[in-house]
């Protein structure tokens, strides 16, 4: 089909979409007004026309949208619209009205084919100009991606949690970082699937980092010394360490598979004097979280002492890491890897009810216990939270204090 059927010289795509949406709304409204009994509830209209209430509901929602782009986003597809128009013959609308509406439906169909290829891809185009539609579109597609990746990878988890607690260090001009990391509801979806939980370098004399447990004791035996099994909801995950060169790999041990195989792992680690209070000139201080397995929800909390970052809230920057790996915020070479998302960062005083509203069992107890062991006052911390449903693998979630 020729693209000249829907395009006019000098029109951009948004103008074309608006014109088709306005024409479709006008034509369909006129044929509906000609049917006795207006205004039409969805079920009664479906009974009158002998069609499904799903299609009449979508039609009426589209015509009430107002925005011509939203009209196309909510409208049934061209084929259901043709069936609806066919069912209206002899029920009130004049033949000329029906023929005019049919021509607009054909323009709508050509636009879908020319600009999207199919309805799903065309809806992605429309979501560019409709924030609420875009949120729903992304949510549906990410949920579908989660299901597909869970089945392909053979594993999933319910919640992938990363909580960072930041306080000024006793070492001048440095800050301490404590990390609470948890995977809740980790399960295999088929037998024998290997799941690597994480890696840790073996302790070496020249290692610049000195990870410790929350009491400050050196974490010399890998993950086992920083496990917080008391805060697991499901049974604690069995881990099998494997040494490869100077690295220890931790693989999930035998758990079975399927819904009843779910296990949790909760870790708490402290790094004293981990970072300078001020980043190097021209750099931006940021912290990030990246899902390791397909997750129903990523939960990223940053609890920063009020004396840090001048009390500012972080901004959210998201990168696609599939080609280049983890990104540094504001690296001009990675600008093209940034992903726009509809989620936002929420901020509260940590001592309030925010910890109880996380939707994670015993989360408030976990953070409160960690602060007690660290000797830090929860009331001195400001909570910044990011929650992402069905995060894509390879999505790097950054909270930046630039």
Answer positive or negative: Cα dihedral of 365, 371, 377, 381. Answer: negative
54-63, 156-165, 248-257, 319-328: segment of lowest average pLDDT: 248-257
Q: Average pLDDT for residues 284-311, to the nearest whole number?
A: 92
- Is the separation of the CB atoms in 400 and 329 below 8 Å? yes
Which of left, alpha, beta for 256 (phi over 0: left; psi -120 to 50: alpha)?
left
In the predicted model, is pLDDT for residue 3 greater than 50?
A: no
54-91 per-position pLDDT tens digit: 999 999 999 999 899 999 999 999 999 999 999 988 87
Q: Average pLDDT for residues 170-183, to the nearest whole number?
A: 94
> Using 50, 70 and 90 to split pLDDT, how confident is the model at 176?
very high
Task: Give the single-character DSSP code of 335.
Answer: G
The sheet carrying 247-252 orders its strands as 196-201, 247-252, 239-244
> Using 50, 70 and 90 to split pLDDT, how confident is the model at 236?
very high
The pLDDT value given to residue 36: 84
Bigger pLDDT: 164 vs 138: 164
In the predicted model, is pLDDT for residue 126 greater than 80?
A: yes
In the predicted model, is pLDDT for residue 10 greater than 50?
A: no
Determine the Cα–Cα distance for residues 228 and 240; give it in Å rounded to an integer: 17
The pLDDT value given to residue 200: 46
Residues with Cβ within 8 Å of 74's Cβ and at least 6 positions away in sequence, in order, are 58, 61, 62, 65
Residues with Cβ within 8 Å of 256's Cβ and at least 6 positions away in sequence, in order, are 188, 191
Helix (H, G, I), strand (E, B) or coil at 214: coil
55-69, 196-210, 282-296, 367-381: segment of lowest average pLDDT: 196-210
Element spanning 389, H or E: strand 381-389
In the predicted model, is pLDDT for residue 316 greater than 70?
A: yes
The pLDDT value given to residue 201: 42
40-49, 322-331, 347-356: segment of lowest average pLDDT: 347-356
Retrieve residue 158's tokens.
């319910």
Rounded percentage of the chain residues whose pLDDT exceeds 70: 92
In the predicted model, is pLDDT for residue 353 greater than 70?
A: yes
The pLDDT value given to residue 281: 80
Q: Average pLDDT for residues 22-32, to the nearest whole number?
A: 94
Determine the Cα–Cα distance for residues 335 and 49; give it in Å rounded to an integer: 52
């Amino acid at each position: 089909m020729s693209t000249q059927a829907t395009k006019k010289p000098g029109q951009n795509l948004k103008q074309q979409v608006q014109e088709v949406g306005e024409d479709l709304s006008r034509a369909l409204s006129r044929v509906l007004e000609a049917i006795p009994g207006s205004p039409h509830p969805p079920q009664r209209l479906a009974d009158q026309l002998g069609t499904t209430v799903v299609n009449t509901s979508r039609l009426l929602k589209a015509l009430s949208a107002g925005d011509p782009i939203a009209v196309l986003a909510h409208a049934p597809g061209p084929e259901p619209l043709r069936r609806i128009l066919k069912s209206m013959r002899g029920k009130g609308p004049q033949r000329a009205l029906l023929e005019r509406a049919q021509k607009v439906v054909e323009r709508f169909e050509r636009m879908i084919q020319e600009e999207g290829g199919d309805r799903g891809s065309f809806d992605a185009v429309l979501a560019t100009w409709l924030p609420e539609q875009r949120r729903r579109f992304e949510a549906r597609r990410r949920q579908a991606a989660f299901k597909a990746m869970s089945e392909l990878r053979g594993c999933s988890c319910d919640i992938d949690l990363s909580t960072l607690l930041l306080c000024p260090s006793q070492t001048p001009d440095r800050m301490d970082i404590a990390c609470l990391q948890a995977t809740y509801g980790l399960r295999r979806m088929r037998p024998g699937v290997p799941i690597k939980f994480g890696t840790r370098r073996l302790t070496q004399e020249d290692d610049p980092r000195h990870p410790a447990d929350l009491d400050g004791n050196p974490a010399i035996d890998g993950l086992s010394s920083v496990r917080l099994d008391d805060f697991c909801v499901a049974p604690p995950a069995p881990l099998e360490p494997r040494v490869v060169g100077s690295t220890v790999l931790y693989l999930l041990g035998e758990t079975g598979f399927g819904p009843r195989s779910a296990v949790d792992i909760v870790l708490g680690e402290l790094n004293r004097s981990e970072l300078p209070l001020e980043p190097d000139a021209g750099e931006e201080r940021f912290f990030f979280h990246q899902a390791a397995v397909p997750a129903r929800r990523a939960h990223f909390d940053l609890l920063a002492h009020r004396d840090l970052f001048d009390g500012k809230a972080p901004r959210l920057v998201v990168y696609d890491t599939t080609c280049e790996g983890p990104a540094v915020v504001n690296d001009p070479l990675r600008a093209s890897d940034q992903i726009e998302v509809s989620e936002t960062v929420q901020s509260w005083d940590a001592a309030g009810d925010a910890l109880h509203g996380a939707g994670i069992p015993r989360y408030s107890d976990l953070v409160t216990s960690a602060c007690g062991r660290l000797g830090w006052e929860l009331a001195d911390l400001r909570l910044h939270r990011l929650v992402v449903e069905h995060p894509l693998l390879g999505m790097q979630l950054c909270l930046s204090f630039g």
